[in-house]
Amino acid sequence: MLNILLPLLLISFLFFWNHKLKQSWISPSSLLLTLYFLSILLAYPYIVIFNQELAFQGQYIEASVAFCLFFLLFIYPFISFRETQITKIILPNQKTLKLFSIIICVFSIYSVIYFIPTTILALTHPSIIAARQAMVERGEVIVSQTIFNTIAGTAASFYQIPIILFFVYQILGQSKVLKTLLFISSTSYIFFVFSAFGRDGILFWFLSFLGIMGFFYSFLDKKILKKIFVILIIGAVIGGIGFMVITFSRFEDAPHNAIISYMGQGIPNFFLAYEADAPISNGASFPLFRALMGLPEDVDRSLQMHSLERAGTYSWVFGTFLKEFILSLGVSGTVLLGLLMFTIFKTIIKNRRQITFSSLFVYFLYFQILYQGVFYFRQTNRVGNLLIIVCFVFYYTFILLAKIDKNKIIIKK
């Protein structure tokens, strides 16, 4: 029980420290800590329901301490940034901002249109569980694997950017048509995931929307906030229906237990994986980065998978983002990655009373990695790696543009 209690106490402390630091409960960091708190809280019923008492044993206390230290390393720079004290947001000029927004909308709406038919097929499939198993085990999909699918799927992965732009235009009070298109664009990831009989699309969209709204909260008019809350609730309800359809179809024997498992299995599986003594996969979670360094993208993980199975867990179950980092880079590599991410974040995102448009790409990328990391490291494939790279490309592009931009838009509280 102490194994679960230690991270629970740490996150409780961080939650109240975060509030004291920012003098507000409304912030992306508060949402992050709430998610991890709920996940660890549900770890106990998960362990009991699914007979995973192994994670309670004293031999895993080291894994519990390791989780606390790693978690602190990765989340500290995000918590220490006082986003509630920002009084000024510096944006590109109106033409640049609009052009960028339109380009994002074109790709994202294409993605929405592309995946709507396959979403309907997926949600009305006579046997969702059989179709999902066929996809996982034999690679059978209802979406044709073409360049058009690749473009649509890649565009969907950038769903946070239209959400950011949606809130920027809400603050500016401009272009109802563009705001509507940006909102529609943000839903691309929902349809993309539903097309693969998945559930996390609606959840990740909801959490991103909530976190980004929390960041811009103090800049938004109360009347606009009420409208956005209504839109968010309607979107969540509609998407939630799809979430429940897939949950009850894939886990028809005990759907409620499946929801507990979905949220609560991360920490116990991290413990088991940490103590599995599994060989590291030398960066298998970063295939595109391996390719850029001239290394083969594919890594043989059979020995690692066998070690995990002997330890009572599997490579494909949720184990938080830290499980992926440990298995991919080892303990030393995870520390180095944490220090690198710490340094990058603190260098780019400084505790000032203003933030630039370029910095938002890095800030929300970090937020995305951490909140999705409650379950697993979502950016573990080529597209996820590409998302990381492109966010930094956008960051440096808008820095360069800002140097020659004489008509910047400045939003003040």
Q: Residue 89 has what DSSP assignment? A: E
Judge whether residue 193 has pLDDT over 90: yes
Identify residue 329 by its one-letter amino acid code: L
Element (H, E) at 354: strand 354-356
What's the whole-number mean pLDDT along residues 324-343?
Answer: 97
Judge whether residue 130 has pLDDT over 80: no
288 in Cβ contact with 386 (< 8 Å):
yes
Judge whether residue 328 has pLDDT over 90: yes
Q: How many residues does the chain have?
A: 413
Judge whether residue 138 has pLDDT over 70: no
104 in Cβ contact with 178 (< 8 Å):
no
Tokens 């992926």 belong to residue: 324
The pLDDT, as a whole number, for residue 149 is: 87
Judge whether residue 141 has pLDDT over 80: no
Q: For 347-361, how does the pLDDT look when each residue is reduced to its tens digit (9 = 90+)?
A: 999 878 899 999 999
SS3 category, 381: coil
374 in Cβ contact with 320 (< 8 Å):
yes
Judge whether residue 122 has pLDDT over 90: no
Question: Which of 333, 340, 331, 325 lies closest to 380 in space, CA to CA?
Answer: 325
Share of the chain above pLDDT 90, in %: 73
What's the whole-number mean pLDDT along residues 284-290?
Answer: 95
Question: Which of 98, 99, 72 lies closest to 17 in space, CA to CA?
Answer: 72
Q: For 301-324, how does the pLDDT look when each residue is reduced to its tens digit (9 = 90+)?
A: 999 999 999 999 999 899 999 999
Band of residue 58 on the pLDDT scale cut at 50, 70, 90: confident
The pLDDT, as a whole number, for residue 239 is: 87
Share of the chain above pLDDT 70, in %: 96
Tell me the whole-structure pTM to 2 decimals. 0.94
35 in Cβ contact with 11 (< 8 Å):
no
Q: Where in the chain are the domains?
A: 2-412
Half-sphere exposure of 285 (CA within 13 A, CB side): 22
Query: Whole-angstrom Cα distance, residue 231 to residue 306?
Result: 46
| Angle, CA 265 vertex, CA 259 and CA 270 arms, to 5° | 160
| Angle, CA 391 vertex, CA 109 and CA 186 arms, to 5° | 25
Greatest Cα pair distance, the chain, in angstroms, is 63
3-state SS string for 255-284: HHHHHHHHHHCHHHHHHHHHCCCCCCCCCC
Give the residue, 257 or 325, on which the prediction is more confident.
Answer: 325
Judge whether residue 187 has pLDDT over 70: yes
The pLDDT, as a whole number, for residue 140 is: 53
